[in-house]
Amino acid sequence: MPDPQLLSPRHALSGSDRTLVDLVDRVLDRGCVIEGELWLTVAGIDLVYLGLKAVLTTPDRLLRGEA
């Protein structure tokens, strides 16, 4: 079994007894960081840049500094 801190999406969703609620509960319990970038470019000129950095976790875990 892989390291429980680093699960692949395929491994996290494997198993027939998993439900969406269980998956969301596990993600919120462990914490998750989502990061993304998007550029809108026309004729080689960058017009729009969108950056996203989000932390998904429970508030009590975030306040304890464990996320």
- Determine the pLDDT at residue 67: 52
- Tell me how far apart the alpha carbons of residues 43 and 14 are, in angstroms, rounded to a whole number: 44
pLDDT surpassing 90 at residue 1: no
Burial (CB < 10 A; 0-12, 13-18, 19+), residue 30, is: middle
Instruction: Please write the tens of the pLDDT for every residue from 6-51.
Output: 666 676 666 555 677 788 888 888 888 889 999 999 998 889 999 9
- Determine the pLDDT at residue 31: 82
- Determine the pLDDT at residue 22: 81
> Does 24 or 4 have the greater pLDDT score?
24
CB distance 50 to 37 below 8 Å: yes
